[in-house]
């Protein structure tokens, strides 16, 4: 009996080795990372199909997730650009409203026009970015996180667990068969073998049903993934084409605006140069030879305190004047003037002289060389003192 048992044990070990060899030949892992396969051609084909579907849907899920991340990043960057462009349009309109000049408002009008156009373009840009999110990112995100994909994957995982259980049951049946052969006539072993075989058949039957359900669900999900991804890619490409055309139009509009602004500035510069040349070319008003020399500062509070000139008196207070002609001082009590200098006029005499301060120096100068100014730029005021 011992010899028979040893031989049976040896045969059992050989059978187990042969099973392992066959399992390794037909195995190769899978979505359940199992190295065992039920030795059945139909079951093997079913398992292989589900494994391919599982891998395919997983790759599609990762691809859709990458598209969603890329689109969301592009939208965030685009919205930041819209914010900057909107701020620029607001500043342009503010400049156009608040900065006008007496010689013309061409530049202000150009700034207002650019501000309105830029605001409209940024609004359209924001609308396109919103459409990109709602038509591309959101559907793909819903597909990645949706129930159909997860349900199909759960069915495939349940099938894989049942397959592993069936594989274990096959080994159990083989073990029971060996025991029955070793102990012929033992009814208890025969009953256990029948129970193990019945359980194996039940597992195979349930596995076949569940495998078909999982394969159907995974096939439907795969088709939906491919269809939805293709549709969203087409929509994304069309949106990017529209955005490219939009950006090209915006760049061209900005280029046209800057060219027009440059033309306006060149025109203003030419007008300023012409006006400067006209002023410089105009003859300086001659000082009347009969006009007495400017008084000394000792006489300021005496002779001229009650005198007037062209309606201006000391009681009117100080006022600002702009030198329209150059004047070269002939004495220490006179004040040098250059065209464009601003003077704080403090006194005006009735004999044609005025007293004031310019660039930190005080003195007398011919009153006809200046013109009164009501408004002066802050930068010019610094030159007076």
Residue 198 forms part of a structural domain? yes
Where does the pLDDT of residue 57 fall: very low under 50, low under 70, confident under 90, or very high at 90 and above?
A: confident
Distance CA 370, CA 335 (A): 12
Selection from 119, 121, 211, 115 nearest residue 161 by Cα: 211
CB atoms near residue 124 (< 10 Å): 15
Last residue of a domain, one of 251, 269, 287: 269
Question: Does the residue 278 lie in any domain?
Answer: no
The reported pLDDT for the residue numbered 241 is 81
Residues 215 and 333 in one domain: no
| pLDDT at site 252 | 73
Would you say residue 322 has pLDDT above 50? yes
CB 99 within 8 A of CB 108: yes
| Same structural domain, 262 and 323 | no
Statement: residue 286 has pLDDT above 60 = no
Q: From residue 189, how far is each of 12, 13, 177, 195 by CA, in Å?
A: 16, 20, 9, 10
Neighbours of 234 (CB within 10 A): 11
With respect to residue 64, please indicate whether it lies within any of the assigned structural domains: yes
Please indicate, yes or no, if residue 17 is contained in any of the structural domains. no
* Domain count along the chain: 2
Q: What angle do CA 94, 95, 96 make, to 5 degrees?
A: 90
Report the pLDDT value the prediction gives residue 356, as an integer from 0 to 100.
Answer: 92
Sheet of 342-348: strands edge to edge? 361-366, 353-358, 342-348, 319-323, 370-373
Is there a single domain that holds both residue 192 and residue 336?
no
Say whether both 186 and 333 belong to one domain: no
Residues 262 and 326 grouped into a single domain: no
Q: Do both 68 and 155 map to the same domain?
A: yes
Average of per-residue pLDDT across 53-57:
83
Q: Per-residue pLDDT for 284 more than 70?
A: no
Q: Which of 208, 241, 269 finishes a domain?
A: 269
Q: Which of 50-59, 213-222, 312-321 has the lowest mean pLDDT?
A: 312-321
Query: Is the pTM of the predicted complex or chain greater than 0.75?
Result: no
Best-predicted range by mean pLDDT among 30-39, 141-150, 331-340? 331-340
Residue 277 forms part of a structural domain: no
The reply to whether 255 and 324 lie within a common domain is no
DSSP conformational letter for 295? P
Provide φ and ψ at 29, rounded to 5°.
Answer: 80, -170
Contacts with 284 (C-beta within 8 Å, 6 or more apart), sequence order: 325, 326, 327, 369
**What CATH number should be reported for the domain holding residue 351?**
2.30.30.40
Q: How confident is the model at residue 355 (pLDDT cuts 50, 70, 90)?
A: very high
pLDDT band at 33 (very low <50, low <70, confident <90, very high): very low
High-pLDDT (> 90) share of the chain, %: 5
359 φ/ψ sector (left φ>0, alpha ψ -120 to 50, else beta): left
263 and 343 in a single domain? The answer is no
Q: What is the pLDDT of residue 307?
A: 40
DSSP class of 136: I
**Per-residue model confidence (pLDDT) at position 299:** 52
Q: What is the CATH number of the domain that holds 93?
A: 1.20.1270
Distances (CA, A) of 313 to 106, 210, 224, 346, 348: 39, 110, 93, 9, 7
Residue 71 belongs to domain spanning: 41-269
């Amino acid at each position: 009996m011992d010899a028979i048992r040893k031989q049976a044990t040896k045969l059992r070990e050989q059978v187990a080795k042969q099973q392992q060899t066959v399992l390794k030949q037909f195995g190769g892992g899978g979505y359940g990372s199992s190295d065992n396969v039920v030795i059945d051609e139909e079951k093997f084909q079913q398992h292989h199909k589900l494994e391919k579907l599982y891998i395919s849907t997983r790759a599609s899920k990762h691809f859709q997730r990458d598209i969603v991340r890329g689109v969301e990043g592009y939208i965030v960057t685009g919205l930041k650009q819209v914010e900057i462009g909107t701020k620029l349009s607001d500043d342009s309109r503010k400049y156009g409203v608040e900065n006008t000049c007496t010689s013309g408002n061409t530049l202000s009008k150009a700034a207002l026009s650019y501000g309105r156009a830029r605001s409209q373009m940024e609004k359209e840009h924001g609308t396109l970015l919103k459409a990109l999110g709602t038509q591309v990112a959101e559907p793909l995100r819903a597909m990645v996180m949706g129930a159909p994909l997860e349900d199909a994957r759960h069915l495939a995982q349940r099938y894989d667990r049942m397959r592993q259980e069936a594989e274990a049951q096959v080994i159990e049946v083989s073990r029971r068969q060996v025991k029955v052969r070793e102990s012929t006539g033992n009814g208890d072993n025969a009953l256990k073998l029948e129970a193990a075989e019945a359980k194996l058949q039940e597992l195979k039957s349930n596995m076949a049903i569940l495998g078909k359900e999982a394969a159907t669900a995974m096939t439907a999900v795969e088709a939906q993934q491919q269809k939805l991804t293709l549709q969203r890619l087409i929509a994304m490409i069309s949106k990017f084409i529209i955005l490219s055309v939009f950006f090209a139009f915006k760049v061209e509009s900005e280029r046209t605006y800057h060219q027009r602004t440059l033309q306006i500035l060149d025109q203003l510069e030419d007008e300023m140069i012409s006006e400067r040349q006209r002023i410089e070319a105009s003859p300086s008003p001659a000082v009347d030879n009969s006009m007495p020399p400017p008084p000394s500062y000792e006489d300021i509070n005496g002779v001229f305190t009650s005198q007037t000139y062209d309606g201006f008196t000391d009681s009117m207070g100080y006022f600002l004047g702009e030198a329209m002609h150059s004047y070269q001082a002939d004495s220490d009590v006179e004040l040098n003037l250059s065209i464009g200098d601003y003077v704080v006029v403090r006194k005006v005499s009735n004999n044609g002289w005025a007293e004031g301060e310019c660039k930190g120096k005080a003195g007398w100068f011919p009153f006809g060389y200046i013109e009164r100014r009501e408004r002066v730029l802050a930068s010019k005021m610094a030159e007076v003192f």
